Structure 1
Amino acid sequence: MTGSVLVSCRDAGRTYGSGPAAVVAVHDTNCHVHAHDRIAVMGSSGSGKSTLLHLMAGLERPTSGEVVWPWCADTTDAAGPGPGARARAKGIGVIFQSPSLIPTLDIAENTGLPLVLAGENAGRAHARALAALERVGVADLAAKLPDDISGGQAQRVAAARVLAARPRLVLADEPTGRLDRTTGGHVVDVLLAAVDEIGAALVVATHDPAVAERLRTRWTMRDGRLLLGPDAGAP
C-alpha cells in the first residue's frame, strides 16, 4: 500500500439492459486505488476495462454495489438514486483513447477549456494550460490547431488537458491504443513523468503488455471479472 485510498469499488457491477438481453460488462468487483499507485488494467477489447475505469471516474453508475471516494464529501455512488459526480470531478482526470480536441480552438485553448468551464478565469486558465503543455513537452504547439499536429502530439495534449487541473487520480483508457509502438512509448514516458511531478495516482487500461510493464501493479479484466495480481493490495 502506498497511500490513502482514493477510490474503492465494493461489489460494484455494471449491467446494460435487462432480462435475456442483459449484458454484464463488469461483474461485482472489489478493488481500491491508493494515492501514488501505478496500476495497469489489462484485458482484450470488450473485457470490461473501460467500464471499470468509467465506474472509478463516476462517469457511469454501478447497477449493483457501490463506488466510494473517501477523500470527497460526496463519497458514494451506489446503484439507484444517489449523489452525482460533480464534486469529485475536481480530483479525477480521465484521458480517453481519442483526444477529442475541438478543431476550432488552438491547443492552448483546448487544454485550458475544462478549467474555464469549471469557473477559472481565462487568464489563469491559459497560464495553467501553458504550464501543462510544457510539462508534457509540447508547449511549442500552443498556437496550433488540432488538425496541424500528429496523433502522438494530440494524445500529449489530451494528457496536458487533464494534468492542468492537477487531479489526485488520473485514469487513462487505452491512451496508446491508436499509436504506433514508438510513439506510444513516448506518450507513456510523458504521462508517468507528469503524474510523478503532480503527485497523482495513475490507472491505465491497456491491452499492450509493453505499456503494462511500465507500471508497478498489474490487474487483468476477463469477461467482466477483475483478477487482481498478488501485489494489488486488494481489500
Structure 2
Amino acid sequence: MNGSLQQGADKAALVECRDAARTFGRGETAVVAVHGATFRVRTGDRIAITGPSGSGKSTLLHLLAGLELPTSGAVSWPALAGPREIGLVFQGPSLIPALNVVENTALPLVLAGVPEERVRLTALAALAMVGAADLADRLPEELSGGQSQRVAVARVVAIAPRLILADEPTGQLDRAIGQRVLDVLVTAADETGAALVVTTHDPSVAERLPVRRAMHDGRLLDPAEERS
C-alpha cells in the first residue's frame, strides 16, 4: 500500500491518511504545509517522522491528532473510539503553571470525568512509570526541562492512550536529557501497548525507532525517494 506506515497487515489501523493536505491562508499568500499524504499508523507501530524545521512535521502530527482538519483528502481513526485514546506530547512547555505536578498529570482524568477517588492514584502511578513520582508536589517552575517533559509524558500515560504522538519532544533539550526523555516515551508506549509517532530533526532520536519516514517541503516522501 502506497506510503503505508505499517508493521504487519494483521494490526488494526489506528489512524489513516488518504491524500491528506493542509493549506493555511488563501490566494497568493497561501502556504501548503502538508501536501497529499497517504499512510496509516497501526497498533504497536514505532515511527519517526524526520525533516528540518518548516518541513510540515508538526502540521502532519496535528492532522493525525485531529487538531487540524485537512484542506483536502481525509484523515480517519478506524480503530479509535475518540480523542481520549490519543495522547499528545508537545515540544515546548505545556504544563499549567498554577498546578503542581500531580495536578497537571491528573487534569485529563478530571476532564474525562474519572471518579475522584481514582484520579490521584492513577496520576501517581503514571508519574512512577516515568520516574517522576518524587516530583509530585512541585510546581512547573521548579522543574528542569527534562523533568517537565517526563511529566508531560506522564500526563499522556495517565489516560492510557492507544496512540501517542510526540512533536519534537527532545527539541529543546540537550542530547543526553533528550535521549532519557525518549527512553521514557518508548517505555511508556511499550508498557501501555500504545503506538508511538515521534517527529524529530535529530537523527539520533530517529534511529531509535524502527520505522522512519522523511518529510521535505510538506511532502511525506516514499521510501524509494528517501533512499535516492
1:161 aligns with 2:155: yes
Q: Which letter maps to 1:18?
A: R
TM-score relative to the length of structure 1: 0.90
Alignment of 1:181-196 (within 5 A): 181-196=175-190
Q: Is the 8 A contact 1:217 1:229 kept in 2?
A: no
The 2-side partners of 1:229 and 1:190 are apart by: 28
CA offsets 1:25-82 (integer angstroms, 9 cap, x no match): 000110110100000000000100000000000000000000011114xxxxxxxxxx
State the partner residue of 2:23.
15
Specify the SS of the correspondent of 1:25.
Answer: strand
CA offsets 1:72-114 (integer angstroms, 9 cap, x no match): 4xxxxxxxxxxxxxx6211111100023111111100000001
Specify the SS of the correspondent of 1:10.
Answer: strand
Alignment of 1:170-181 (within 5 A): 170-181=164-175
Specify the SS of the correspondent of 1:28.
Answer: strand
Question: Which sections of structure 1, spanning at least 5 residues, go unmatched?
Answer: 73-86, 231-235
State the partner residue of 2:203.
209
Specify the SS of the correspondent of 1:110.
Answer: helix
The 1-side partners of 2:67 and 2:184 are apart by: 25
State the partner residue of 2:3.
none
Q: Which letter maps to 2:152?
A: A
TM-score relative to the length of structure 2: 0.92
Match among 131, 137, 156 for residue 125 of structure 2:
131
CA offsets 1:143-194 (integer angstroms, 9 cap, x no match): 1111111110000000000110010000000000000000001001111111
State the partner residue of 1:113.
107
State the partner residue of 1:93.
87
State the partner residue of 1:32.
40
Q: Which letter maps to 1:162?
A: V
State the partner residue of 1:82.
none
1:54 aligns with 2:80: no
The 2-side partners of 1:228 and 1:96 are apart by: 26
The 2-side partners of 1:28 and 1:101 are apart by: 33
The 1-side partners of 2:93 and 2:191 are apart by: 22
Kindly tell me the number of residue pairs found equivalent between the two proteins.
217
The 2-side partners of 1:128 and 1:229 are apart by: 40
Q: Which letter maps to 2:30?
A: A
The 2-side partners of 1:228 and 1:163 are apart by: 31
The 2-side partners of 1:21 and 1:194 are apart by: 41
State the partner residue of 2:12.
4
State the partner residue of 2:78.
70
Q: Is the 8 A contact 1:218 1:228 kept in 2?
A: no
The 2-side partners of 1:98 and 1:179 are apart by: 10
Instruction: State the 1:123 CA deviation.
Output: 2.6
Match among 52, 56, 75 for residue 44 of structure 1:
52
The 1-side partners of 2:93 and 2:119 are apart by: 19
Q: Is the 8 A contact 1:5 1:35 kept in 2?
A: yes
Q: Which runs of 4+ in 1 moved over 3 A?
A: none
The 2-side partners of 1:228 and 1:88 are apart by: 29
